[in-house]
Structure 1
């Protein structure tokens, strides 16, 4: 089946007119990160059934799929149409067609947010200190507090000595009690540049009385200066009192108002949920733990700092409406991220007047999924028995490479769904294959495709890897038995503790060039408060 194609001008006009469009790069993350248009959100072909309904809640939103000539864009269009999306096209000529038409292409991931961060620094001259200057302050035992605005797991991997984990959206709420003396100097750090720029500028915009500086170039800058990072730290922000919350709420509301953030009520939410002609995203910006303890129905847990950093990962429909809620903490953690999203040209609202009684749902957010194919499934204990006693059974894991390396069924193979034909050729031929994954549903969607490529019996592990762990069965760690290259994850030059200094420097040089690239692209509508 062939699909309508859309060209560079069609996509560009949608972006320039702020009309809704889901421009989807359906390659795996690594090839996506090598070059793509600014607002081409990465939604890999492998995960379309898992992600599509959450990321594109409106079935008739204009969707344009993109690849680099691999044939994935057509396959993705086919899958999206089968899921009920009615307005799906393929970008004419893919990445090469975009470039040939004069379109700008960008490297790396989360590029809209990173380029926006660079724009903020260039317009506001966000203050920063070098790694050497910050180390001197710490060594001299000066009155200084270092706050790390990344996710806690990133902070825990490696951090600046004395640093405290305060993920971005928490800053304006938590800082007054971490540094009650206005003479205390505040240093804001992330791994590279974006989140420390946004964090520093958030505190300045909110009128915090302390002197605030970003750690220039983050943990990368620290490492390039030949300075040691801490590992395995667990210092976290504390709860704050009512008076601090009330003051932070006023500050954050003032910033949101200046940025043109709109306000919403529960009655608006009910109306927007049933609105057919407009895409609306509903995000709860508190910590995951607070969300799990009680949240509004239909809201997804996306902590505010990560939302500003990774917007296109949860909201790929450019031109959509975004609603944020922080039912505790005086809406600080909704108003501050909303102020940034407004400057990134999103149509953004903060939901007011939410009562504890309204938080009627508990537990983790569950992605809306299509009906699973009818398949033969098997429980974890039986699979364990087969693998120990029958050399003609092999388990194949379709999780992310990172999840597979952390722990997988002993002897199982890692495979990428988008590389299925190539993977099967590398895996030994046996009489029975057991498919598993995290999330469990992914292997269910792979199974019919897998069965079409083999005469062997294909069964799915019921409950996936989570069921194996719940049954307290052994796990194997490490990158053994790779039937596919790990293309699903682009290795960021600021991750982990063993990164080549040349790659770090190249990453910083790339970030410095983003403002110029934004100017050439011209579709972003970004502005700075």
Structure 2
């Protein structure tokens, strides 16, 4: 008796992807594993969109539905579900990487560890070619302790700065440096030190100031806060020093400086009419990013723009623009942040434009950026009070789909932490219940899991309205720690430069890896980077 044949899913090979990258075609090579396994090994231009939260991220990261998408995992069986979900969302050209990650390896494709590798490797290339000036941690400490004429500018996100910072450091996230540095160091004799956690953002920040022609002596803190700790020196915690407003003359000078740098990097210019035409194109992906601060964005922004404060956009380009070879359009209200960010993106091999003819009335949309997401499933919601009654009276299991770090910080007592992509395995570890209540930080992600839990358990499944915060807002108790993990904590890769308790060996190994990235780029051969 003949058996029905299952058609094999369409694939793309390592050679196909490599050729498309070299031809500067649009490439969406998507790793659907969680971030921790992704960080163990992946191709240079792979973007990580975990299956667990695919629906919440993919529409902003791959906005065009007929983009050529290639999915892979490392044999975990995630790609078929991811393909089904993407096709249900209307994506029409979804294929699998031939042989998965192992197929890439077997074809002698270069594999990289860690996250945001294109930007980190590029930072090393910049230092390699430009010999970006830097000072060792011991030298910087000596300058600070001797009350030398020195200002320390921290180029990371403000929340990272608050966690740990160099003594006397001021938070000036990367894209703000050229705009703000003259105000913070008005005397051209004042030495400016730029730091981050490791190397990339301090190299790019320092080189930004050098490229913009600031007259001050400028240096990166060599190896950032990692280098500071490895030198046995003490960091500050919980600081709140931030940049202030700048004068009109400072802004005008910075605008002219940034435009010169952008022109040197061959940044292209655009108009509002160009932007409208690009956004209407059916066969080309255009990202529209506002690179000012999140606070400025909330006050008023160009409709359809995504808030991506410039330093982080350059650091995490793969996260925001997950289609390599797409067009990137940047906007701001003075030209400084957009032109400086664009100068780096152009060197990173992107086709990047800055819109020059924006007026105040163009920044007409207010509030935070809201990620586009598909129509969520209709589910039955319950209040925190109802959940409390059910827990007192009956057999109910609470499943929490938030990030594991949030769960560990605080969760509903007795709630199980679950990774959505490993739902079946997780439910096998959780005692069977008569009904299930799902939650997360906002209940947006948990909502998508409701029909999946119903299908796997055959029991009634409800959504906690307002997510876990609604439980605490109602005055109910919290539990902390890894009390009930039904899935392994692989949803986030712990960066060796994060927090205050990273082992010395991990920090040193991270630096050693960064030093080797230029060589890895050479072996890979697809990067298309250049350095002005």
TM-score by length of 1: 0.97
| Larger deviation, residues 464-473 vs 369-378 | 464-473
Which of the residues 185, 195, 214 maps onto 1:189? 195
* Equivalence for 1:255: 261
* Equivalence for 2:362: 358
1:279-298 equivalence runs, <5 A: 279-298=285-304
After superposition, the Cα gap between the structure-2 partners of 1:38 and 1:187, relative to the gap in structure 1 and judged at 3 Å, is same
Which of the residues 82, 85, 99 maps onto 2:88? 82
Which of the residues 132, 142, 147 maps onto 1:136? 142
* Equivalence for 1:14: 20
- Cα deviation digits, residues 184-232 of structure 1 (max 9, x gap): 0011100000000000000000001101000000000000001111111
Deviation at 1:421, TM superposition (A): 1.1
Deviation at 1:305, TM superposition (A): 0.1
1:165-204 equivalence runs, <5 A: 165-204=171-210
CA distance in 2, matches of 1:253, 1:475: 52
| Larger deviation, residues 167-176 vs 363-372 | 363-372
| Residues 1:164 and 2:170 are matched in the alignment | yes
Runs of 4+ in 1 over 6 A off after TM superposition: none
Kept in 2, the 8 Å contact 1:440–1:466? The answer is no
Which of the residues 11, 15, 22 maps onto 1:5? 11
| Larger deviation, residues 351-360 vs 283-292 | 351-360
1:327-406 equivalence runs, <5 A: 327=333, 330-387=334-391, 389-406=392-409
CA distance in 2, matches of 1:302, 1:433: 37
| Larger deviation, residues 460-469 vs 86-95 | 460-469
Deviation at 1:477, TM superposition (A): 3.1
| Residues 1:233 and 2:226 are matched in the alignment | no
Deviation at 1:473, TM superposition (A): 4.6
1:62-77 equivalence runs, <5 A: 62-77=68-83
Deviation at 1:279, TM superposition (A): 0.3
Kept in 2, the 8 Å contact 1:55–1:315? The answer is yes
CA distance in 1, matches of 2:101, 2:132: 34
SS in 2 for 1:430: coil
Which of the residues 522, 525, 529 maps onto 2:525? 522
| Residues 1:485 and 2:488 are matched in the alignment | yes
Kept in 1, the 8 Å contact 2:426–2:486? The answer is yes
SS in 2 for 1:146: strand
Q: Alignment RMSD, CA only?
A: 1.3
Deviation at 1:471, TM superposition (A): 4.5
| Residues 1:112 and 2:118 are matched in the alignment | yes
CA distance in 2, matches of 1:232, 1:30: 28
| Residues 1:217 and 2:220 are matched in the alignment | no
CA distance in 2, matches of 1:474, 1:365: 32
- Cα deviation digits, residues 310-357 of structure 1 (max 9, x gap): 001111100000011112xx2211111100000001010111222221
1:455-470 equivalence runs, <5 A: 455-468=458-471
- Cα deviation digits, residues 235-256 of structure 1 (max 9, x gap): 1011111111010000001101
Kept in 2, the 8 Å contact 1:189–1:195? The answer is yes
SS in 2 for 1:283: strand
Deviation at 1:470, TM superposition (A): 5.1
The number of residues matched between the two structures is 526
After superposition, the Cα gap between the structure-2 partners of 1:350 and 1:473, relative to the gap in structure 1 and judged at 3 Å, is farther
After superposition, the Cα gap between the structure-2 partners of 1:355 and 1:476, relative to the gap in structure 1 and judged at 3 Å, is farther
- Cα deviation digits, residues 447-478 of structure 1 (max 9, x gap): 11111110322111223235445545544333
- Cα deviation digits, residues 133-190 of structure 1 (max 9, x gap): 1111111110000011000110100111110100000000011010000000011100
SS in 2 for 1:384: helix
| Residues 1:99 and 2:105 are matched in the alignment | yes
Q: Which runs of 5+ in 2 are unaligned?
A: 1-5
CA distance in 2, matches of 1:395, 1:489: 22
CA distance in 2, matches of 1:381, 1:358: 45
TM-score by length of 2: 0.97
Kept in 1, the 8 Å contact 2:72–2:97? The answer is yes
Kept in 1, the 8 Å contact 2:443–2:463? The answer is no
Q: Which runs of 5+ in 1 are unaligned?
A: none
* Equivalence for 1:309: 315
CA distance in 2, matches of 1:469, 1:202: 44
Deviation at 1:91, TM superposition (A): 0.4
After superposition, the Cα gap between the structure-2 partners of 1:197 and 1:270, relative to the gap in structure 1 and judged at 3 Å, is same
| Residues 1:48 and 2:54 are matched in the alignment | yes
- Cα deviation digits, residues 373-426 of structure 1 (max 9, x gap): 122222233223323x13411211111112222332232111101111111112
Which of the residues 40, 64, 67 maps onto 1:34? 40
* Equivalence for 1:123: 129
* Equivalence for 1:511: 514
